[in-house]
């Protein structure tokens, strides 16, 4: 440190290298001579800030009052600068921060392309629509659940009446019993299909339709089967419809055509069962024969129809004392017409009529 004539202070910074040199000089020269040694000239290497060591400074009072006043003014200016610099320390750092903020603001202000913004808006709208749809569905489900609970819990919908329609053979009370419906039961708790199956346990019931008449009435409409033929079953008779459904076993003769020569086993003859397929197919030909006989006015005098041979059906007319061999169902209308003529011509005679071959029709009287 060196004092100048204008009483200004000069700072002398020592680097590590210079410090080492001064130490060496102190060892070589006596202390008295150190005062006379001029300081080394300063160069750029001496002001390496990273390796600087600051030595304390001593300020001497100045003699001149004008200089003191100037100094005071300089101090005030320095104080103002210090206040200003106190609020803005590290100008370089602040500038960097301001630059970063400016860049961040520029990034924020950066406008999104229109197409990208439109896609984002469409996505938001789509999400909103989906959420709205889900809310509607949930609301709809909640309403349905509420309605269902009301229908199943409210006593207003308990069964008060059971009406049966379409029945002639089967008793109304029997149908009600078969349905297994109970009064004061909720009208929505039973299965219509299950009730239909229960009612059809009676062989005469071909179909059943179940309707709910709100708030408290159930209507059962049945379609019954009609007996068309009968089978001989020991000393009893088995009533069957045109499709071969066994309807009833009775000791009474229903005055229906009696089918003989069927293939169904005796053990299978039960109400609710059906004849075997072979017999059911033969009943189709029987239906044709009876229709042709009906058109010629001789259906009521046919008592027995033998179906044992599907190539040669036989009809018996006990009231006329005759048996007719018809062959198959070909030309069945012509055969019935010829049979009617023979019956009229051979009135009072017992015998057999052969119609299985229209080229060889003849009547053979029974002796």
CA atoms within 13 A on the CB side of 233: 24
CB contact at 8 A, 364 and 356? no
Q: Which pLDDT score is estimated for 142?
A: 93
Q: How far apart are CA 320 and CA 310, in angstroms?
A: 24
More confident residue, 326 or 27: 326
Each residue's pLDDT tens digit, 161-172: 999 999 999 999
* pLDDT score at 274: 94
Over residues 258-268, the mean pLDDT reads: 94
Do 332 and 292 meet the contact criterion of CB atoms below 8 Å apart? yes
- Which has the minimum average pLDDT: 21-25, 245-249, 279-283? 21-25
Lowest mean pLDDT among 35-44, 191-200, 260-269, 328-337: 35-44
SS (H, E, C) the chain: CEECCCCCEECCCECHHHHHHHHHHHHHCCHHHHCCCCCCCCCHHHHCHHHCECCCCCCCCCCCHHHHHHHHHHHHHHHHHHHHHHHCCCHHHHHHHHHHHHHHHHHHHCCCCHHHHHHHHHHHHHHHHHHHHHHHHHHHHHHHHHHHHHHHHCHHHECCEEEEECCCCCCHHHHHHHHCCCCCCECCCCCHHHHHHHHCCCCCEEEEEEEEECCCEEEEEEEECCCCEEEEECCEEEEECCCCEEEEEECCCCCCCEEECCCCCHHHCCCCCECCHHHHHHHHHHHHHHHHHHHCCCHHHCCEEECCCCCCEEEEECCCCEEEEEECCCCHHHHHHHHHHHHHHCCCCCEEEECCCCCCCEEEECC
pLDDT for the residue numbered 251 = 93
Look at 10-14, 220-224, 252-256, 266-270 and tell me which has the smallest mean pLDDT: 10-14
Q: Is 214 exposed, middle or buried (0-12, 13-18, 19+ CB in 10 A)?
A: exposed
- What mean pLDDT value characterizes the chain? 80
At 155 the three-state DSSP class reads helix
Per-residue confidence band for 286, with pLDDT thresholds at 50, 70 and 90? very high
Question: Strand pairing of 304-306 and 205-213?
Answer: unpaired
């Amino acid at each position: 440190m060196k004092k100048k004539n204008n009483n200004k202070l000069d700072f002398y910074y020592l680097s590590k290298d210079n410090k080492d040199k001064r130490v060496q000089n102190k060892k070589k020269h006596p202390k008295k001579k150190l005062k006379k040694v001029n300081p080394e000239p300063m160069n750029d290497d001496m002001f390496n800030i990273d390796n600087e060591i600051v030595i304390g400074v001593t300020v001497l009072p100045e003699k001149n009052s004008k200089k003191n006043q100037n100094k005071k003014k300089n101090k005030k200016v320095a104080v103002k600068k210090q206040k200003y610099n106190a609020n803005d320390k590290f100008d370089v750092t602040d500038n960097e921060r301001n630059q970063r903020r400016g860049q961040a603001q520029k990034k924020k202000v950066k406008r999104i392309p229109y197409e990208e913004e439109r896609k984002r808006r469409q996505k938001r709208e789509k999400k909103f629509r989906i959420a709205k749809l889900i809310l509607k569905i949930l609301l709809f489900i909640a309403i349905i659940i509420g309605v269902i609970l009301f229908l199943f819990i409210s006593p207003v919908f308990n069964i008060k009446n059971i009406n049966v329609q379409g029945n002639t053979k089967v008793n109304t009370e029997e149908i009600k019993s078969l349905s297994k419906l109970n009064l004061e039961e909720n009208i929505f708790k039973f299965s219509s299909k299950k009730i239909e199956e229960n009612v059809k346990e009676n062989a005469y019931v071909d179909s059943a339709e179940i309707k709910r008449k709100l708030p408290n009435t159930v209507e059962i409409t049945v379609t019954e089967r009609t007996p068309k033929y009968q089978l001989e079953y020991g000393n009893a008779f088995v009533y069957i419809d045109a499709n071969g459904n066994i309807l009833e076993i009775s000791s009474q003769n229903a005055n229906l055509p009696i089918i003989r020569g069927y293939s169904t086993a005796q053990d299978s003859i039960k109400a609710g069962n059906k004849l075997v397929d072979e017999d059911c197919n033969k009943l189709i030909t029987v239906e044709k024969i009876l229709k042709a006989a009906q058109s010629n006015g001789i259906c009521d005098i046919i008592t027995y129809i033998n179906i044992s041979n599907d190539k040669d059906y036989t009809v018996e007319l006990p009231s006329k004392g005759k048996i007719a061999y018809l062959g198959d169902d070909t030309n069945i209308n012509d055969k019935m017409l010829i049979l009617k003529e023979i019956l009229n011509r051979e009135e009072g005679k017992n015998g057999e009529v052969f119609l299985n071959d229209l080229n060889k029709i003849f009547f053979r009287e029974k002796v």
